Structure 1
Amino acid sequence: MMEEYFAPLEADRFAFPEGRATFGQVVRKYVEGVSFPELEGAHIAIFGVGEERGTVQNAGCAAAPDAVREKLYALKTGRYAYNILDLGNLRLGATLQDTYAAVASIHADLIREGILPVILGGSQDLTFAQYVAYQKLEETVNIVAVDASFDLGATEDPIGSDTYLGKIVLHEPNFLFNFSNLGYQTYFTGSDQVELMEKLYFDTYRLGQVQRDMEEAEPIVRNADILSFDLTAIRRSDAPGNGKATPNGFYGEEACQIVRYAGLSDKLSSFGLYELNPAFDEHGQTAHLAAQMIWYLTEGYYNRKKDVPLKSKTDFVKYRVALKRADQEIVFYKSQKSERWWMEVPYPNSKVRYHRHHLVPCSYHDYEIALRDEMPERWWQAFQKLS
């Protein structure tokens, strides 16, 4: 039973009187003296994983989940029919691998129930556990990480918050279709790692590139099954609660915008927020920002349009663009519900498991590029992975 994985929250700390229009009042929480919440019909399940054995230079991040809850449950609710659970805090395994196994098992069960798991970490190596859950579901997945660096590490390095991506790449069986990084900072990565990411056909977007046009980040995030957000990607002035916080990074409102994009995506089925460290958090500022990010995630979730063209193309306008120089036709779909765009990328019949990835989220800008008889970079990157 799932209940066995979790420790209940302190009743006095997270008790909110009825009648207050706050998250603390509407979220069904597993607290002391209360039965474990029923999963049936739930939309989102929050749970804390105070695991920091894999962290690098950020000891103390294990205390983050309850710090975020204190701020989150004081926030006002919107006008939605909320059905959100808080399952409590995971009982950590005897080893780090035991914790990963528990997180993966819980994730797989929640996803099967149609529930969006939201992890309050803990360290970012828990992304590995998010990924392993999909092995149980037998699905190839896309991961988007908002991070100032790539966390590849060396083959011989043990798994940790700065090496987890390398372990995902090497994991067998491999069911990673694509990895995208949003917000990397070159002085933390180096040209050799950028070249390696290109060889792996992964998509990487520098901090300045994303900040110049935040709307262009939306199709990237919309393509994610898993979103992993390292709070180190946010500048120290907005999120000081991190042992590795630096002067540059996303602004707080940009972080909230990215997370709202994630919530809006019908494809997203796993979310993790990592590396918050209350020991460094001045006046609880980072915990408050993290709580607002979760607020925006739920706000996006309850504004989903259910307009994925893979399921039905009834509510879409189809556009065909013939590229003369490439001797290629690109088919675009525009949703009449949300005005979001997708483009169709061909794939060999022998790779039927990639079917769910051949309709690639894009933007109107990609359509404009095609009209100029140029190949959109997003189309070409997807074609290389599918072929």
Structure 2
Amino acid sequence: MELDFLVPVDDKVLAHCELLPQQAMGKHIKVHSKRDGLPEMSAVKIAFLGVKESRNAFEKKPEKIDVSAIRIQLYKLLLGNWSFRLADIGDIEEGATVEDTYFVVKNTLTALLKQGVVPIIIGATQDITYPAYRAFDGIKNLVNLVAVDSRFDFGMDDELISSHSYMSKIITDQPNNLYNFSNIGYQSYFNAQEEMDLMERLFFDAYRLGELGSDISLAEPVLRNAHMVSMDMRAVRASEIGLLDNFSPNGFTGREICAIARYAGFSDKVCLFGIYEMENAVQSSQLIAQIIWYFIEGFNFRITESPLEEPENFTKYNVPCDSEQLVFHKSHLTDRWWVEVPSVLAPHTKTDTVALLPCTKTDYLQACDQNIPERWLKAYKKGFN
């Protein structure tokens, strides 16, 4: 594996780990250390790595990210009833240029993805989402990206890539493998109207903070369809994270952001999870550690199910609307819902079958009231334009 550029976990983290009880996560994580080198990855399902690159930060960072502090908080959490192996493969330091760092990030993540390992990135700035997205080149032709963010991060046309403009590079750079982009938790006063108009024109999905605050489960179907998730910690309210500068009084609570992480882990499609834009504070490190714990907890309960392949495990609902007949499926096992959309949503299939779009029970009830769900309309228009 191309992991030669990874720096081992700091000795002070390993020393702290020696003092932990046997039930602590740190006692069960395979760690990249100076003494033992990289761990054997054959049985590993999830790997953590830090990315310390911050030169493209929109707001310049007052100090380098302390990934070791996050590791100390993570290692002390108690292990869940998990049946798979975890690894901490160390950090990617800043290269001679930002492009050098991107190159190393891309190659490292590609190597992990090819081996079936789900990387959890702890990154200084969210522009690392770009090389993480490029890691899918040659692995997945169409990528669904979900950003948990108060901003859309398109930036201005002439702006160089930064933590506030990386999405512009993703949607314009070749090869263009982005199929869908969804934002969870945007706040209108942080986004220009032009950005909102662009989201509409491209049939991307966006969910306001207030909408999710009343029902965080609305995030689940969005994450169920994602291949990679990019979480900006500035989407969390300042009081929850123990930081004031560059953080907003409005945002997700700690409980809500952990629920989102658990939904991401539970999605059987998510194969890359990134957490970005934190700054050094004990409360921040604790929350990030708990976010990672909940992602792993969700991963542990992953279930692969398909109404088309196992119809006996689902209830099928045909809902005639004025212009369309919508077909919904409800799982007997998980109570999750899907709605059928024309097959352009699944170009990787060779037969002219329908595609399944994750949805909610509310979408079904709306259809019963003759209101076609907005998520279905966007998926339909995206496929026929």
Residue number among 55, 63, 66 corresponding to 2:65 in the alignment: 63
Shift of 1:320: 2.0
TM, length-normalised to structure 1: 0.93
1:219-274 CA deviation, whole Å, 9 max, x = no partner?
Answer: 11211111100000011101134741111111111100111100010010110000
Residue number among 341, 347, 351 corresponding to 2:343 in the alignment: 347
Over 3 Å counting, the alpha-carbon distance change for 1:373 and 1:247 in structure 2 is same
Where 2:291 maps in the other structure, the secondary structure is helix
Amino acid at match of 1:6: L
Over 3 Å counting, the alpha-carbon distance change for 1:129 and 1:311 in structure 2 is farther
Aligned twin of 2:304: 306
Shift of 1:111: 1.6
**Any conservation in 2 of the 1:222–1:268 contact (CA below 8 Å)?**
yes
Aligned twin of 2:3: 3
**Any conservation in 1 of the 2:342–2:354 contact (CA below 8 Å)?**
no
Shift of 1:308: 4.2
Aligned partners of 1:240, 1:310: CA distance in 2, in Å?
46
Amino acid at match of 1:50: K
- Structure 2 residue 376 is the aligned partner of structure 1 residue 376: no
Root mean square deviation, CA, Å: 2.1
Aligned partners of 1:114, 1:384: CA distance in 2, in Å?
33
Amino acid at match of 1:240: G
Over 3 Å counting, the alpha-carbon distance change for 1:64 and 1:178 in structure 2 is farther
Aligned partners of 2:244, 2:98: CA distance in 1, in Å?
21
Aligned twin of 1:292: 290
Aligned partners of 1:209, 1:309: CA distance in 2, in Å?
28
Amino acid at match of 1:154: M
Unpaired runs of 5+ residues, structure 1, are none
- Structure 2 residue 206 is the aligned partner of structure 1 residue 204: yes
Amino acid at match of 2:216: M
Amino acid at match of 2:10: E
Give the number of aligned pairs.
380
Aligned partners of 1:341, 1:171: CA distance in 2, in Å?
34
- Structure 2 residue 90 is the aligned partner of structure 1 residue 88: yes
Over 3 Å counting, the alpha-carbon distance change for 1:243 and 1:170 in structure 2 is farther
Where 1:6 maps in the other structure, the secondary structure is coil
Over 3 Å counting, the alpha-carbon distance change for 1:260 and 1:155 in structure 2 is same
**Any conservation in 2 of the 1:315–1:336 contact (CA below 8 Å)?**
yes
1:123-170 CA deviation, whole Å, 9 max, x = no partner?
Answer: 000011111111231420111111111111122211110110111111
Over 3 Å counting, the alpha-carbon distance change for 1:357 and 1:152 in structure 2 is farther
Aligned partners of 2:160, 2:192: CA distance in 1, in Å?
21
Amino acid at match of 1:352: P
Aligned partners of 1:140, 1:61: CA distance in 2, in Å?
36
- Structure 2 residue 13 is the aligned partner of structure 1 residue 13: yes
Aligned partners of 1:113, 1:33: CA distance in 2, in Å?
24
Residue number among 322, 330, 338 corresponding to 2:320 in the alignment: 322
Aligned twin of 2:264: 262
**Any conservation in 2 of the 1:58–1:275 contact (CA below 8 Å)?**
no
Q: Which moved more, 1:201-210 or 1:130-139?
A: 130-139
Amino acid at match of 1:235: R
Aligned twin of 2:362: 365
TM, length-normalised to structure 2: 0.93
**Any conservation in 2 of the 1:266–1:308 contact (CA below 8 Å)?**
no
Where 2:83 maps in the other structure, the secondary structure is coil
Shift of 1:92: 3.1
Aligned partners of 1:229, 1:357: CA distance in 2, in Å?
31
Map residues 47-196 of structure 1 onto 2, 5 A cutoff: 47-60=49-62, 62-196=64-198
Unpaired runs of 5+ residues, structure 2, are none
Aligned partners of 1:229, 1:286: CA distance in 2, in Å?
14
1:161-184 CA deviation, whole Å, 9 max, x = no partner?
Answer: 011011111111211111111111
Aligned partners of 2:28, 2:306: CA distance in 1, in Å?
29
Over 3 Å counting, the alpha-carbon distance change for 1:310 and 1:117 in structure 2 is farther
**Any conservation in 2 of the 1:241–1:276 contact (CA below 8 Å)?**
no
Where 1:305 maps in the other structure, the secondary structure is coil
Aligned twin of 1:337: 333
